[in-house]
Chain A
Amino acid sequence: MPILSFLVLPQAGAMEQLCADLSAMEHCEIIPSDNQEVVVLVTDTPDEKTENKLQEMLKNLPSLQSISMTFGHNAE
């Protein structure tokens, strides 16, 4: 049951789209910044299978330029 947080950067001009995409995804919560193009993403998945699926979806998101993990917790 991992909880992870990430810093996510949008593709140029795609901040709004990125926020919409991430908000629409299950197991995702976002905190957009006010004055910079960066989003904090917190994911909370019930199991490894869902986690892997979510990671795959994130990787393929067209509005996302880069993503880097800052925190990891696995409540076993």
Chain B
Amino acid sequence: MTRQQVLDLYFLAARHQLIEIAAFLDRVDRAEGEADFRLGAFAAALRCLQEAPPGERATAVLMALSDPTTEPLPKAPGKGAVGAWSGQRLAA
């Protein structure tokens, strides 16, 4: 596809998603109380949109939200995932 075709197919959807992100951050701003680690991880992922090499933005965003460690955990801390790594490097 040409860039023009990509814009024709996807610009409105991307615009919609971008405004959703902006509104989400405004909603967080208006809310009270402390945010947990997910907000910081989200901000770091947003920076990837500007800083990642062309063609690598999706990978960079996913990596910004991923656990980069290599050692298995001593025990599973429950079953669920929350979408961002807490940054805790659990002791073996």
Q: Do A and B bind?
A: no
Chain B residues with CB under 8 Å of chain A are: none
Chain A residues with CB under 8 Å of chain B are: none
